[in-house]
Amino acid sequence: MTAEYQVHGQTAVITLQNPPVNGLGFSTRQGIVAGVTRALDDDAIKAIVITGAGKAFSGGADIREFNKPAATAAPNLLNVIAVLEASSKPIVAAMHSVAMGGGLELAMGCHFRVVQSGTQIALPEVKLGILPGAGGTQRLPRLIGVEPALNMIVSGSTVPAEKLAKTALFDEIVETDVVKAALAFAERAVASNLPLKKARDIKIKFATAEGFFQFARNMVAAAAKNYPAPLKCVDAVEASVTKPFDEGMRIEREAFTYLVQTTESKALRHAFFGERAASKIPDIPEDTPTRPIRSAAVIGAGTMGGGIAMNFANAGIPVTVLEMKSEALEKGLAVVRKNYENSMKKGKLTPEKFAERVGLIKGSLAYQDIRDADIVIEAVFEDLAVKEQVFKQLDEVMRSGAILASNTSTLDVDKIAAFTRRPEDVIGTHFFSPANVMKLLEVVRGKKTGKDVLATVMQLSKKIKKTGVVSGVCDGFIGNRMIEQYSRQAGFLLEEGALPQQVDKAVERFGFAMGPFRMGDLAGNDVGWYIRKRRYVEKPNIVYSKTADLLCELGRFGQKTGAGWYDYKPGDRTAYPSEVVNEMIIAHSKTLGVTRRKISDDEIVERLVFALVNEGAHILEEGIALRASDIDMVYLTGYGFPIYRGGPMFYADTVGLPNVILAMHRYARQRHGDAWKPAPLLEKLAAEGKTFN
Ligand code: 3H9
């Protein structure tokens, strides 16, 4: 049993011992009940303190147990809390570090709570697509008030304990040594015969309930249209006001049981674990020594270079941006400054932080100025010859031990490494635009990249608040290699009968942040054009729709030229369907001899998403991605894939891999069959009744 029992004078201390965060798994729950029972049976014991070992009081229910028998096996968390509440001896929670979800619910089932200042308090269940399921929606409103409780439960956000110091949630707040303070509190409770408080007994008075909850529902509905959990949170908190405690508990329970089975919740939990799994690399132990990163340099002050530099400054790391010409440097630094100014105007950055961040970014025109940086990231034009020049130069000037990184999005990192005499120090760090905003960082491991270099960059990705995902070397790495298949299908759909606005709408209704054509207009259609021209030479067998090339030949590169797949008005980013483009598309079908047909939204979504899945399966099989969830993290954090669908590979699992294959065969029979040959791994898993994740 993963809870320890110790006696201090007349008080029993039960310490949760379930690393890493004292999740309330089956054996921990058993341990708590056993401890309380033992204390109650021992006449020498007058009070009980419950705390957690290590770095948390408790992070809540053990998410790894969800949808498994252990999650509901008795004693479940409700049973445990009932035992605490009914105890005839005072029970004091000694809370520190983290008290979240079921952990907070456990504490709210105790008679008294002593908390260490700085403890992170939250009911974050909504972020996992569920709601607090062990009384949180009923007890928190009673202890801190309806409105603050609703805010915490609907947002899942974390509140530091001191902000709640004046509420009935805490009986005492201390700076250090919370267990000692809780022991002293327990002794006082016994000596003074303090009445044993039960949160359930608190009567809530809230005169304006009806209007308040209606307002809350309206607010929540708009923000959470694809998630059932937030509205269920409102229902449950409302019940805390309008219904007796036990009835409120029943309503909470029903909602929890429903939500925990939903695909949305499974997808969100998949993303939670996927994010953490991505930082683990099988052949690189967690204790691998890393290189200190105290300073950085970025080559290129373009949009990418500037955004990358901001990441370092935001993390407090001084960074020098190198450019060849002073105009380009000044222009780049001005953009960075403007970005920070905008954040300050929106109140997201204090004037002090603004000054600090701007102060951490310096510009330079000379390689000599960056020679001592611990890491340098090249973000110059995407052309191997240009990269060669830069890396040869870096090899000359950079101090030994510096990490040499390239922000290339498609080029061969091994070739780039070979431009230097220190390939072990070279790595790919592929940021996504805008680099200061997007969470994804594809970390490209070259054949010779040193293990310590990879470990350092993965650690750095956390420091600069990115989701680092390791990719092997291949054309496009994980994300862009897959998106190419998606884009190819988008192009074929135009030839066969769809128009850009229909494709975009269908994909956006599926949940993507942006459809492929609006995305192309935002990123610049010339980028893909440039890459395709290279492909036509390197891989002449791959068939692409020519529609995108025709568009570029018209100079319609997207928002930056005021026209792309859509028309734009000056100063307005709204995409207006374009007659010129639509006519061009229809004329092109004619040239190809293709009879246009009505294409359903379902077909559009399936073709785009299954094209991602099939390429993802190749990538997994080739070992370019370490695990299916890494691919999902790339798409969730870098490509606007809807998080409630869990990423392309998870989505394919929920559709059923045999169904994915059946659809692929169907599309293969229609046109361009070679694009639909199922990856061997996909076929194998489907045949074995298995899934990617
Ligand atoms: C709940 O409580 C439901 C109840 O209302 C009702 C029940 C009936 N379970 O984030 P980190 C692991 S739902 C299992 O890198 P940090 C995590 O996977 C739960 N494992 O550390 C990772 O493992 P690994 C509501 C968990 O210090 C390791 O801990 N609670 C859980 O940056 C370290 O995680 C939540 O949603 C868990 N509950 O942050 C809290 N939590 O090393 C979710 C973490 O193998 N957790 N792990 O990769 C968090 O927000 C953060 O993990 C926390 C620590 C703030 C606790």
679: domain CATH number is: 1.10.1040.50
| β-sheet bridge partners, residue 174 | 116
Residue 491, domain extent: 479-687
25 burial class (0-12, 13-18, 19+ CB within 10 angstroms)?
A: buried
Between the CA of 190 and the centroid of ligand 1 the distance, in Å, is 34
| 454 and 508 both lie in a single domain | no
Ligand 1 centroid to Cα of residue 61, in Å, is 8
| 2/399 Cα distance (integer angstroms) | 50
Residue 21 CA, ligand 1 centroid: distance in Å: 6
User: Length of the chain in residues, anyone?
Assistant: 693
Half-sphere exposure of 56 (CA within 13 A, CB side): 22
The number of the ligand 1 atom at minimal distance from the alpha carbon of 279 is 48
**Rounded Cα distance, 547 and 584, in Å:** 8
Residue that terminates a domain, selected from 242, 260, 278: 260
What pLDDT score was predicted for residue 369? Answer: 96
Amino acid identity at 569: K
Q: Give 41 Cα–ligand 1 centroid separation in angstroms.
A: 33
Task: Report the distance separating Cα 649 and Cα 639, nearest Å.
Answer: 14
Q: Look at residue 613 and give its three-state secondary structure.
A: helix
Ligand 1 mean position to 187 CA, how many Å?
32
d(CA 488, CA 607): 10
CATH number, domain containing residue 447: 3.40.50.720
Q: Residue 410: inside a domain, yes or no?
A: yes
Number of domains the chain is built from: 3
Q: Which residues contact 645 (CB under 8 A, 6 or more apart)?
A: 263, 267, 510, 511, 651, 654
Residue 331 inside a domain? The answer is yes
User: Is residue 212 located within the same domain as residue 305?
Assistant: no
The residue type found at 14 is I
Whether 508 and 623 map to the same domain: the answer is yes
Judge if 405 and 489 occupy the same domain. no
* Residue 52 and residue 31 share a domain: yes
Are 588 and 630 part of one and the same domain? yes
Reported as half-sphere exposure (CB side, CA atoms, 13 A), residue 227 has a value of: 28
- CA-nearest residue for atom 40, ligand 1, is 59
* For ligand 1, atom 11: residue with the closest CA: 276
Best of 29, 55, 63 to mutate for ligand 1, by most ligand atoms within 8 A of CB? Answer: 63
Instruction: Give catalytic residue positions.
Output: 105, 125
pLDDT at 311: 98
Residue 635 and residue 671 share a domain: yes
Identify the domain boundary among 439, 471, 503: 471
Which residues have C-beta within 8 Å of that of residue 325, sequence separation ≥ 6? 365
Q: What is the pLDDT of residue 71?
A: 87
For 155, residues 6+ apart whose C-beta sits below 8 A from its C-beta are 126
Residue 462 located in a structural domain: yes
Domain co-membership, 228 together with 331: no
My answer on whether 358 and 342 are in the same domain is yes
Tell me the average confidence (pLDDT) per consecutive run of 10 residues in the chain, 693 residues long.
94 96 96 98 98 97 88 94 98 98 98 98 97 98 97 97 96 97 98 96 89 93 86 97 97 96 94 96 94 98 95 98 96 96 94 96 97 97 93 97 95 97 98 93 98 98 97 95 96 98 97 94 88 85 90 94 94 93 97 96 98 98 98 97 96 98 97 93 97 95
In DSSP terms, which residues pair with 443 in a beta bridge?
Answer: 429, 470
Same domain, 397 and 425: yes
Pocket test for ligand 1, best of 18, 21, 127, 281 (most atoms within 8 A of CB): 21
Specify the residue for token string 């006696």: 7
Q: Of 440, 471, 502, which marks where a domain is finished?
A: 471
How high is the pLDDT of residue 223? 75
> Is 359 within the bounds of a domain?
yes
- 248 inside domain: yes
Identify the sign of the CA torsion 117, 118, 119, 125.
positive
Protein residue closest via CA to atom 46 of ligand 1: 59
| Domain shared by 465 and 499, yes or no | no
Are 217 and 350 part of one and the same domain?
Answer: no
Ligand 1 lining (C-beta closer than 6 Å) = 20-21, 23, 56, 59-64, 77, 98, 100-102, 105, 124-125, 128, 132-134, 136, 273, 276
- Between CA 255 and CA 390 the distance in angstroms is 58
C-alpha torsion angle, residues 603, 608, 611, 612 (rounded to 10): -140
Q: Give residue 667's identity as a one-letter amino acid code.
A: Y
pLDDT at 205: 87
**Does 386 reside within a domain?**
yes
| CATH number, domain with residue 47 | 3.90.226.10
Q: Work out the number of other CB atoms within 10 angstroms of the CB of residue 673.
A: 12
- Measured CA to CA, the distance from residue 434 to residue 461 in angstroms comes to 16
